[in-house]
């Protein structure tokens, strides 16, 4: 059996199949909280700029494998300003989305049978790529706060461990890793001579002001740290697939081999749009962040209605909330039934944990970035109305 055949199906397409044959009345349309991706187009001024780029013949040609020089330099300036530390364009590669950045890092750093430590719940595409690459994912269980413990990570390091990989703000948990947590993991990785891969796809929507960590201020940071980023969420460019890797130039030379073989280069139109966004959309992006923070506040308000019914909010940030449910049935069964009974599509946490991990049956991931305050209020009203058997001695409501 091929590694692809042995890998689980992508969860979001799988969840969409649960909608087949289900009719949603006009007064109670589907609330889709399954995927964290902007559904609105880029802002009008960016679309106008992109139309102009189409008239440039070079937009339709191959470009440099590691991305256009002006975008690499622009992101280096942005990164240096955000983290208050020097970053060189030679430490930046542009990729075809952040998923490709992760895939390229794994291809460049890992050999058959190597291991990477992944905190659970994990981002399912990271696990899928590791499975398809012949790399073993070593689960690092997190506690009620969904934060990985550095000492626990250290205990999992073996002779084949090549990296610890984290996502912050987290997907699926939503938690924003404290600077101390990230720093402790960095020191564990540096002491062991392995890499710390930090996926910061949702960096622009962190509730905290300023740099979320100080790793780039440390001498020789790029010998240990590999940062991943996505322009998709910041500028609504999901369909144009523009991501980035910030790392040691020697590692990027290996990444170049991967990109040249897989996509040859990142798409020109998306790159030009990303650079235009970096240079012109700072105030607009601040407004997008403010809207996400308002929706985060709406989640907190809505939870006040669910907590007396046995629900618990375990993580909240950027695009995600991680909810513990009170029902007697497991989350994967409840998620399918919720489509029919409540008109809500959420992913069960069984899609984010190793097989056999009992925590998956108790939790849901709510991807709330595409639900406004009114939609979130309706979501919590529908969840509160679910009259299903409860777990534990209460047996029902």
Q: Residue 396: pLDDT above 70?
A: no
**pLDDT (0 to 100) of residue 37:** 80
Q: Name the domain count of the chain.
A: 2
Supply the range of the domain harboring residue 293: 3-41+284-385
Q: Which of 281, 309, 339 is the last residue of a domain?
A: 281
Residue 395 lies in a domain: no
Instruction: Please tell me the pTM assigned to this model.
Output: 0.95
Say how far apart CA 41 and CA 302 lie, in whole Å.
28
Q: Verify that 32 and 95 share a domain, yes or no.
A: no
pLDDT tens figures, 158-208: 999 999 999 999 999 999 999 999 999 999 999 999 999 999 999 999 999
Residue reference for tokens 């090549």: 162
Q: What is the mean pLDDT of residues 27-45?
A: 91
3-state class of 229 per DSSP?
Answer: strand
Q: Which of 233, 249, 281 is the last residue of a domain?
A: 281
Q: What percent of the chain has pLDDT over 70?
A: 98
CATH number of the domain that 59 lies in?
3.40.640.10
Residue 291 lies in a domain: yes
**pLDDT (0 to 100) of residue 397:** 37
Q: Verify that 244 and 353 share a domain, yes or no.
A: no
Tokens (6 digits) for 69: 């020089």
- Would you tell me how many other CB atoms lie within 10 Å of the CB of residue 297? 14
**pLDDT (0 to 100) of residue 287:** 97
Total residues belonging to the chain: 397
User: Do 110 and 135 meet the contact criterion of CB atoms below 8 Å apart?
Assistant: yes
Residue 392 lies in a domain: no
Residue 133 lies in a domain: yes
Q: Verify that 91 and 152 share a domain, yes or no.
A: yes
Longest Cα–Cα distance of the chain, Å, equals: 69
Residue 184 lies in a domain: yes
Q: Verify that 275 and 294 share a domain, yes or no.
A: no
- Would you tell me how many other CB atoms lie within 10 Å of the CB of residue 273? 25
Q: Verify that 107 and 155 share a domain, yes or no.
A: yes
Confidence of residue 394 (pLDDT cuts 50, 70, 90): very low
Q: Residue 66: pLDDT above 60?
A: yes
Strands 363-367 and 347-348: antiparallel
Q: Residue 392: pLDDT above 80?
A: no
pLDDT tens figures, 323-335: 999 999 999 999 9
**pLDDT (0 to 100) of residue 59:** 96
Residue reference for tokens 């790793």: 215
pLDDT tens figures, 69-101: 999 999 999 999 999 999 999 999 999 999 999
The conformation of residue 61, written as its DSSP 8-state character, comes to: S
Q: Verify that 224 and 267 share a domain, yes or no.
A: yes
Say how far apart CA 269 and CA 94 lie, in whole Å.
13
């Amino acid at each position: 059996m091929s590694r692809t055949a042995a890998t689980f199906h992508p969860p979001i397409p799988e969840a969409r199949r649960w909608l087949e044959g289900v009719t949603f009345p006009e007064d109670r349309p589907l609330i889709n909280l399954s995927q964290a991706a902007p559904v609105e187009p880029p802002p009008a001024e960016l679309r106008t700029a992109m139309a102009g780029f189409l008239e440039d013949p070079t937009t339709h040609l191959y470009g440099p494998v590691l991305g256009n020089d002006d975008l690499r330099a622009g992101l280096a300036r942005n990164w240096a300003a955000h983290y208050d530390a020097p970053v060189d364009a030679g430490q930046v590669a542009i990729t075809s989305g952040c998923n490709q950045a992760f895939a390229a890092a794994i291809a460049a750093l890992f050999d058959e049978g190597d291991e990477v430590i992944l905190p659970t719940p994990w981002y399912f595409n990271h696990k899928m790529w590791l499975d398809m690459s012949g790399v073993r994912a070593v689960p690092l269980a997190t506690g009620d706060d969904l934060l990985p413990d550095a000492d626990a990570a250290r205990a999992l390091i073996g002779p084949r461990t090549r990296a610890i990989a984290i996502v912050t703000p987290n997907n699926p948990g939503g938690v924003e890793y404290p600077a101390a947590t990230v720093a402790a993991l960095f020191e564990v990785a540096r002491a062991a001579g392995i890499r710390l891969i930090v996926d910061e796809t949702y960096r622009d929507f962190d509730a905290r002001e300023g740099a979320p960590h100080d790793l780039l201020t440390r001498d020789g940071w790029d010998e240990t740290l590999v940062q991943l980023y996505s322009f998709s969420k910041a500028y609504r460019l999901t369909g144009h697939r523009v991501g980035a890797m910030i790392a040691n130039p020697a590692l990027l030379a290996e990444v170049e081999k991967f990109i040249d073989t897989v996509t040859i280069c990142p798409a020109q139109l998306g790159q030009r749009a990303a650079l235009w966004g970096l240079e012109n959309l700072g105030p607009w992006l601040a407004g997008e962040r403010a809207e996400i923070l308002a929706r985060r506040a709406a989640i907190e308000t809505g939870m006040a209605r669910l907590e007396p019914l046995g629900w618990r909010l375990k993580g909240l940030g950027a695009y995600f909330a991680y909810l513990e449910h009170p029902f007697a049935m497991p989350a994967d069964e409840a998620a399918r039934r919720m489509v029919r009974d409540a008109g809500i599509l959420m992913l069960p946490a069984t899609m984010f944990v190793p097989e056999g991990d009992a925590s998956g049956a108790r939790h849901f991931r709510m991807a709330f970035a595409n639900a406004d305050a009114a939609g979130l209020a309706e979501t919590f009203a529908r969840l509160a109305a679910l009259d299903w058997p409860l777990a534990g001695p209460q047996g029902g409501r």
